[in-house]
Amino acid sequence: MSTPRPRIAWTSVTIMAPAPRELAAFYARLLDGEVTASEPPGAGDPEHAGWAQVRASGRTLNFEFEHCWSPPVWPAQHDRQISSQHLDLHVVDLAAATDWARECGAILAEVQPQEDVRVLFDPAGHPFCLFR
């Protein structure tokens, strides 16, 4: 006998970060979205801690403070923090979108594995991909 499947709805993705409110501002600008929620640091947390949420194109990204933040290394290397997920962002004009991302504060990765994809790092070091 199996358990009946309960109703489960996907609502958002939460990204851990050393400065979540700053990272939310980056993604709101990059994605032409808005910061819809922002909370200050908790008692005893550093000034840059807290929590924030961004809504863009009908999707929600949450940004949560991570006390033990270590930016991932991409491409992956043994014995280093890896990126277990990343955002894929569809674009029409790859060059213009790459320029915009860099203007917003992203850093272009040295390794670019495909002609129609650009790997960049957000201000916290998370990789993300722009693709056609």
| Start-end of CATH 3.30.720.100 domains in the chain | 12-66
d(CA 38, CA 73): 28
The SS3 assignment for 31 reads coil
Q: What confidence tens digit (pLDDT) does each residue in 24-79 have?
A: 999 999 999 999 999 999 999 999 999 999 999 999 999 999 999 988 888 878 88
Does residue 110 carry a pLDDT above 90?
yes
d(CA 17, CA 11): 19
| Start-end of CATH 3.10.180.10 domains in the chain | 81-132
Tell whether pTM > 0.85: yes
The SS3 assignment for 74 reads coil
Peptide linkage before 72 cis (omega within 30 of 0): no
For residues 83-108, one letter each, b for 16 or more C-beta atoms within 10 angstroms of the residue's C-beta and e for the rest, the string is beebbebebeeeeebbebbeebbbee
12-66: CATH class:
alpha beta
Domain with residues 81-132, CATH architecture: Roll (3.10)
